[in-house]
Amino acid sequence: MSECVETSLAETETAVFRSQDGSHPPDASGWMRPPLKTDAAAIHRLIADCPPLDLNSVYTYLLLSEHFSGTCVLAGSGDAIEGFISGYVPPGRPDVLFVWQVAVDARARGKRLARRMLHALLRRPALSGIRYVETTVGPANLASRGVFAGLAQDLGAPLREQILFPPCLFGAQHHEDEPLLRIGPFRILKAC
């Protein structure tokens, strides 16, 4: 028997239909919700399938799901995970949401899922004080750059870029420049 379980972020997120074992029924349409610890291995697989994202350990995704679920979002359709965004509010900067990784499965690309997930995060009541979104995006990652340029346009906010992590900081690991993209200030208006 399935029941409708709304997350604590129900005001802005789709109710998730779950069976007693916690799985999504095959007929459920698109959903978004905070990640759970039980999602960590699937998130790891999604990130592995989304180059050029840096693949972190499953343990990292366990910690994100356990400690930062309020600033992360998982999206899917039926039983399939289609997207994940990890983020956090940096210490001492309560008006900033730093977006760490944005991953969209190949099947879901071209549907603006990344932007919809970002908007879902920004509409969460616990993030109502956010006035800036920050992220790092390499110069060659045109898809991600397009997502954040589109978000800035949606929010009517400026997007600024500055050097944050030049390649020399990555040591022997060959890594491209990671400039900081900063969107804001902006204000999210609540729907009536």
Segment 46-89, tens digit of pLDDT: 999 998 888 999 999 999 999 999 999 999 999 999 999 999 99
Domain assignments of the chain as residue spans, ordered by start: 3-9+28-183
Overall fold of domain 3-9+28-183: Aminopeptidase (3.40.630)
Per the document, the length of the chain is: 192
Report CA 73 to chain centroid distance, whole Å: 5
107, with CB counted inside 10 A (0-12, 13-18, 19+), is exposed
Q: Which residue has the tokens 């616990």?
A: 126
Buried b (16+ CB within 10 A) or exposed e, 152-167: beebebebeeeeeeee
Q: pTM for this one?
A: 0.81
Distance between CA 12 and CA 9 in Å, rounded?
A: 6
Structure-block tokens of residue 95: 């008006």
Segment 111-159, tens digit of pLDDT: 999 999 999 999 999 999 999 999 999 888 899 999 999 999 999 999 9
